[in-house]
Chains A and B, each alone.
Chain A
Amino acid sequence: MAMNHNRPCGTFDTSYEQTMSVVRTPLRWTILIIFIVAIFVMPRVFSGRLLSLANLIGISIVAIQGLNLVTGYCGQMNLGQTAFMAVGAYSSALFISKLGFPWLLALPCSAITAGLVALLFGLPSLRIKGFYLAMATLAAQFIIPTLLVNIRPDITGGTHSLIVRPPVIAGFKFNTQAEMFYLIMICAVLATYLTKNIVRTGVGRAFIAIRDNDLSAEVMGINTFYYKSLAFFICGLFAGVAGCLWAHWMRAINPDNFTIMGSIWYLGMLIVGGIGSTAGAVFGVVFLRVIDFIATDVSLSLGQQFPEHMAFFQSAFSVLVQGLVIVLFVVIEPRGLNERWQLFKASYRLHPFNY
């Protein structure tokens, strides 16, 4: 994939390692290091709402990279990402409070729980695809929260919120937004890096082959059932990590946090960013979360300007903006922000002769 884009003039690969590496040139290394340092300096500069927005973005990135693998790379539609997040959130909270797991153990355990649940709902993908598969994952979206409310309300708290303790690693308690920020960002960076790496391997190529044509992939000897299941499992793992982070970040979880609207929203981020690219997923999350943030602010100030329409601005404005942004992107730029970014880079590289 990375090899398809044209390179800046004079950049040649001289070894196989260089061709295959994720970060190819010294300049890119510099940019990457500056970027990562910038991320980790953020809590010193920002505070309050901006920091919690950044945390939300980080958690969404983890969730969206999983969705990107299963939907963007493997082509299997998933309308149940928030339901799988709910599994991660609840299992992590319960592992810690009921079984006394340390947080570092609860994180992988909840991820695996969510992965197994996702695998279960991905099983029909053996025989079905497209809309039918969307239906199966939609079923997850309705079944899981209902089960969480009803099946053992004494453990999950039923319709009441379940209070979650902040994560503790080696005696250090992640209590504030800034402290959580580091934890979340490490997960977000790792998730992005892992996704980028998975899609370069044989597994990733199998995913892409299945997405492009699953029958051809099967004819070529790819075990489609195994790889589809694997895609769902990995997607669930990511969702579980995101859910676990969400639970310990919000400190209180409720089945109402994990509705169908959230899943739609995640798919929207994927489309807005550009489906089937790790950078695009990050673009999409940042773009839509920031739009949402701004829309909430604008609607609050507009509500103060026009008190007679207060209710409209409070309840409808940001939903309308969100819906409109996704619709516009799907209709006008279905390949997403990443496509624009690639075009921009290409025209910049070819600058004086951009034809």
Chain B
Amino acid sequence: MDTFFQSFLSGAAVGMVYGLIAVGIVFIYRATAVFNFAVGSMMAFGAYLMWTFYCQLSLPFWLSLVFTLLGSAGLGLITERLCLRPLIGEPILSSVLLTLALSYLINGMIVGFWGTVDHELPSIFPKSIIHLGKVSLSHEWLWSFMISFVIILLLSLFVRRSRIGLLMRATCEDHVIAEARGISVESIFSLVWAICGLITSAAGILLALQLGVSQSLPLIAFKAFPAIIFGGLESILGACIGGLLVGILENLAGTYITSWVMEVTPYVILLLVLIIRPHGLFGLERIERI
């Protein structure tokens, strides 16, 4: 039973970070109907930026955090302005391929600037390990769970309650009508990409604190895609729960079957969900008309 709780808790902790990444993707999808495959690279970019400010330039932690968030938001803005905006109205495949190529490009930039050597991001959390009975949990995972949770909560409040959130939801419903009602759809697009930059770099830093700053960070972000499929593309809460489920199931499979099953579990779940309930647990079932 203790093994069960142990893997359950560590799964939940990492799952919340998947959820955070998934929220970044859902955010962009809701407003612009673009599926951002470049989140992994944006995440790694944030982590490397943090490493540069914090370890290489040895700035204080909070200052380097602010700079990193600004830099990542800037990356999101530039991406949107230069690459995504000309694509409005083009078929889905173009935008999918564009974000995939962008991830290629950003990965190349990371290798170019920072090289292929892995780095370690010194932890700011207490080193000790929390014991709950026989279950032990590191401070880092606990904190990353809580920070991710708070960010997701704030974002969903932002979308539900604030005026800008309302504009974003209107844009998501229909671009043309939103424009006709006087909403600047373009600035909403920019804003959404900037927010996605913020979220992904936060997730990148949280992951890098535990796993180090390395070339394998972008691959972790692919685990967020099953989370989205689980929760449905339309819902922030769904993405969060999907992330948790993916993390937990992945860890349980890793513990109870064999370790390599962990790698494929999210994708097997994804296939099953796609076949059984294609619009996810919380997604809207769209009725199409010709």
B98 touches A327 (CB 8 A): yes
A219 touches B290 (CB 8 A): yes
Report the minimal beta-carbon distance from B22 to chain A, rounded to whole angstroms. 12
Q: Is A37 an interface residue (CB 8 A)?
A: no
Chain A residue at minimum C-beta to C-beta distance from B228: A135
> Taking each of A77, A213, A319, A323, which has the highest tally of chain B beta carbons within 10 Å of its own beta carbon?
A323
- Given A128-B278, A139-B268, A330 and B94 contact (CB-CB distance below 8 Å): yes
- Given A131-B233, A215-B288, A268-B97, A150 and B260 contact (CB-CB distance below 8 Å): yes
Q: Is B177 an interface residue (CB 8 A)?
A: no
B274 touches A128 (CB 8 A): yes
Which of B111, B260, B264, B278 is the one whose CB lies under 8 Å from A319?
B111
Q: Is B8 an interface residue (CB 8 A)?
A: no
With the chains together, A127 CA to B279 CA distance in Å? 10
Which of A71, A135, A317, A320 is the one whose CB lies under 8 Å from B229?
A135
B225 touches A327 (CB 8 A): no
Report the minimal beta-carbon distance from B86 to chain A, rounded to whole angstroms. 5
A124 touches B35 (CB 8 A): no
With the chains together, A139 CA to B260 CA distance in Å? 15
Chain A interface secondary structure, helix, strand, loop or mixed? helix
B97 touches A267 (CB 8 A): yes
- Given A271-B93, A311-B115, A319-B111, A149 and B260 contact (CB-CB distance below 8 Å): yes
B270 touches A135 (CB 8 A): yes
With the chains together, A254 CA to B6 CA distance in Å? 35
Chain B residues at the A interface, C-beta cutoff of 8 Å? 29, 35, 82-83, 86-87, 90, 92-94, 96-98, 100-105, 107-109, 111-112, 115-116, 222, 225-226, 229, 233, 258, 260, 263-264, 267-268, 270-271, 274-275, 278, 288, 290
Given contacts A77-B92, A323-B102, 7 further A-B contacts (CB under 8 A): A132-B274, A138-B267, A267-B97, A316-B108, A316-B112, A323-B104, A327-B102
A-B contact pairs, 28 of them (CB 8 A): A77-B92, A124-B274, A130-B92, A135-B226, A136-B270, A138-B267, A139-B267, A139-B271, A142-B263, A143-B271, A146-B260, A146-B263, A149-B260, A216-B290, A264-B104, A267-B100, A316-B108, A317-B112, A320-B105, A320-B108, A323-B101, A326-B104, A327-B98, A327-B101, A330-B87, A330-B98, A331-B87, A334-B87
